[in-house]
Homo-oligomer: A and B are copies of this chain.
Amino acid sequence: MSSAQETNIHKRNATIQEVARRAKVSVGTVSNVLNNSNAVSGLLQRRVEQAMRDLNYHPNNHARSLKSRRSSVIGIVISNITNPFFPLVLRGAESVIVRHGYMLTIFNTDDDIERERQIFSLLRTHRVDGMLAVVAPNPANDIAHIVQAIDMGIPVVCLDRTPHGLNIDSVVVDNVRGSAMCVRHLVDLGHRKIAIINGSSWLQTARDRYKGYEMALDEANIKIDRNLVREGDFRFDSGYKMTKDLLLNHPRPTALFVANGTMGLGALQGLNELAIHCPEQIALAVFDEIPGGRMLRPLITSVIQPAYDLGVKAGELLISRLTGKMSPDPVTITLQAELIIGESTIGSGRAAISRRSKNVLRKRK
């Protein structure tokens, strides 16, 4: 089997020069067939292509980018790929971006704004053509790095979250409405003491989900009880701890609304340990999909976000910025979430539900 040590004959990549020489043609001509800019006669074209094959030529993207000022690379900055929401987003974005000839470079911020700044700087050094960003919570609301990127002509599309006070291209889920829809469902079932376990209020997402909660309760003339409002960090542990805390204290809620899937899993764990049954003893509804949730019993009522579509739309928006002909005004695309009603809130017979949930109870937008 061949390996680097044996075959280090051509350790260097072939250059356009060498291709030209071998095809008995000038460098310019090779460049032309590469980018089929100027028409090249069939004969030369074939000769060049043959030479490229012979030399196993791979054009040097760095030289190309240096000259052309386009890198064909797009940076995507997310909070944490380990959160099951993001692989779908990534995949959606990738599907459109790759189709347009770009590469995707990925970074996790872990929701650390300082890290986000470093990453933006790095991406600028690498001269990416555009960025997709799930912005980190930003207490000081210091968005200079984003503004600067845009000012330098690098389109930035915000995904899932929007920095406060910055009018910028973005693709988001209608968190207010999704959340309201879900809480309304709980209200409709007769619940009055509905607790919420939310994420950090530094995140627009969390604020919006709270707003939806507020709206639904307002509509029903239910006064918000601060004791039933908890702020976690969108991680398993905070879902777990806050659930236990809520249920061991007064007033004890009859329904629990958890603002994301991972905390939702934590909540389930908590309920489990307390041997509190759902929906008999408490109703549970979750914003976001619970990983592997469709096999859970009871099936959890949840607000499903169009994650893949979010990525696709963001990718498309970025591409149309890149290809130029768009009004320069920032655009915001809002996607609707879908409420899937499971057994964790209505709690009737299991067989009936799983059948019905597919056909009837799925509220479409």
B71 touches A82 (CB 8 A): no
Contacts of A73 in B (CB 8 A): 105, 126
Give the residue of B80, B151, B281 whose beta carbon is less than 8 angstroms from that of A4: B151
Binary interface encoding of chain A residues 257-268 relative to chain B, with 1 for a CB under 8 A from any of its CBs, else 0 = 000000001001
- Residues of B near A357 (CB, < 8 A) are 277
Partner of A295, one of B4, B5, B269: B269
Query: Are A61 and B127 in contact (CB-based, < 8 A)?
Result: yes
> Smallest Cβ distance from A323 to chain B, in angstroms?
16
Q: CA separation between A65 and B125, bound complex, in Å?
A: 11
Q: Contact string, A100-134, partner B, CB cutoff 8 A, digits 1/0?
A: 00011111100000000000011011110000000
Copies in the complex: 2
Q: Which residues of B contact A107 (CB under 8 A)?
A: 94, 98, 103-104
Contact B61 A125 (CB under 8 A): yes
For A, the interface residue count at a CB cutoff of 8 angstroms equals 77
Q: Which of these, B8, B13, B61, B295, contacts A268 with CB under 8 Å?
A: B295
**Contact residues, A314-365 vs B (CB, 8 A):** 328, 330, 354, 356-357, 360-361, 364
Closest chain-B Cβ to A171's Cβ sits at a distance in Å of 18
Report the nearest B residue to A106, measured CB to CB. Answer: B106
Q: Which residues of A come within 8 Å of B, CB atoms?
A: 1-5, 7-8, 10-11, 13, 56, 58-63, 65-66, 71, 73, 80-82, 84, 86-88, 90-91, 94, 98, 103-108, 121-122, 124-127, 147-148, 150-153, 165-167, 265, 268-269, 272, 275, 277, 280-281, 290-297, 328, 330, 354, 356-357, 360-361, 364
**Given known contacts A13-B152, A84-B291, A91-B108, what 17 new A-B pairs fall within 8 Å (CB)?**
A1-B147, A2-B151, A4-B328, A10-B151, A11-B153, A60-B127, A62-B127, A82-B87, A82-B91, A94-B106, A103-B107, A103-B126, A272-B295, A277-B357, A277-B360, A290-B292, A292-B295
The 6 listed contacts between A and B (C-beta, < 8 Å) are A1-B165, A13-B127, A81-B81, A103-B107, A103-B122, A104-B105
